[in-house]
Amino acid sequence: MASKPPPPEDGAYTDFAKAMNYGDYLQLDTLLSAQKPLSDKDDELLFIVIHQSTELWMKLVLHELDLAVASVRADRLQPALKNLARVGRIQEQMIQSWNVLSTMTPAEYSGFRDALGRSSGFQSFQNRRIEFLLGNKQDAMIAPHRHDDALSARLDAALAAPSLYDEAIALLARRGFAIDAALLTRDFREPHLSNDSVRAAWLSIYRDPQQYWDLYQLAEKLVDVDDWFQQWRFRHMTTVRRIIGFKRGTGGTAGVGYLKKAVDITLFPELWDLRTEL
């Protein structure tokens, strides 16, 4: 026999005509009306919801990364560690979304793919800004946004600004480690390349974590973020391969071939390389 739901608490069913309610606070009318399939295929709604929810998670990732960058710049590592830990949990959720999308078969996707036109996740402004914040700097990646002056200006600013890792390296220098001075004044529009002085600093920290506990924790949180992003890219690649094989992407990329190259990106090279030397 099915159990009955508990009775409502006093005041749980009050008149919300003049009070804030759940739907008002979350603007659910706007949120739930934003899914507008362009075909009559049932599976298109899954495709839209997965990508919209991923963009919402990315909005939160950017919020947390911006806070982390500001905290590292201010030498306040405890808040930054909290922000980066949260980013890792969000990344877990983003990876799980590929598992949901992979329930779509090639035939189901083909049923509405033409309706996408040239739209592609490759054109995600938020994803591009995340990449820039984490140091994957490529000026050419702004090209899909050049038609929008406001968006391209924001990406240009993100490209020119120090990344999270650049701020971590500057922090190492402020803490007294012998970091090459050129790294602190370099052109931040270019990606960071592995550097011996940075690797030596991180090695010192890993060899004496008790002395440098907060920096040691920061290093491991950075590795967590890099690790999760590599896993996210890998699941992206395998999901795309499962659904479209080796067809070209709707945005004009090489599809799986392009995504395979992305899997090999390492954001914080010294933190990975030092493990061989410990």
Q: Which CATH class is domain 41-277?
A: mainly alpha
Q: Which residue has the higher pLDDT, 161 or 7?
A: 161
Which of 167, 166, 275, 163 shows the shortest CA–CA distance to 220? Answer: 275
Confidence label for 178 from pLDDT (cuts 50, 70 and 90): very high
Which of 150, 192, 145, 149 shows the shortest CA–CA distance to 172? Answer: 192
Confidence label for 10 from pLDDT (cuts 50, 70 and 90): low
Question: Given this model, what pLDDT does residue 71 score?
Answer: 98
Average pLDDT of span 237-252 = 80
Q: Could you give the C-alpha distances from 62 to 21, 84, 262, in angstroms and in order?
A: 28, 11, 20
Sequence-distant (6+) residues with CB within 8 A of 242 are 102, 106
Confidence label for 123 from pLDDT (cuts 50, 70 and 90): confident
Quick check: 198 pLDDT over 80? yes
Average pLDDT of span 245-252 = 71
Which of 260, 220, 272, 247 shows the shortest CA–CA distance to 109? Answer: 247
Note whether 112 and 47 are within 8 A (CB).
Answer: yes
Confidence label for 251 from pLDDT (cuts 50, 70 and 90): low
- Long-range contact list for 175-184, CB < 8 A, 24+ apart? 175/212, 175/215, 177/201, 177/204
Note whether 81 and 221 are within 8 A (CB).
Answer: yes
Question: Given this model, what pLDDT does residue 202 score?
Answer: 98
Note whether 46 and 100 are within 8 A (CB).
Answer: yes
Give the start-to-end residue ranges of the domains of the chain. 41-277
| Rounded Cα–Cα distance for residues 236 and 4 (Å) | 43
User: Per this entry, what is the length of the chain?
Assistant: 278
Confidence label for 14 from pLDDT (cuts 50, 70 and 90): low
| Stated pTM of the model | 0.91
Question: Given this model, what pLDDT does residue 49 score?
Answer: 97
Confidence label for 7 from pLDDT (cuts 50, 70 and 90): low
C-alpha 72: how far from chain center: 18
**Residues above pLDDT 70, as percent of the chain:** 93
- For 68, the enclosing helix (H) or strand (E) is helix 44-73
Confidence label for 1 from pLDDT (cuts 50, 70 and 90): low
Quick check: 11 pLDDT over 70? no
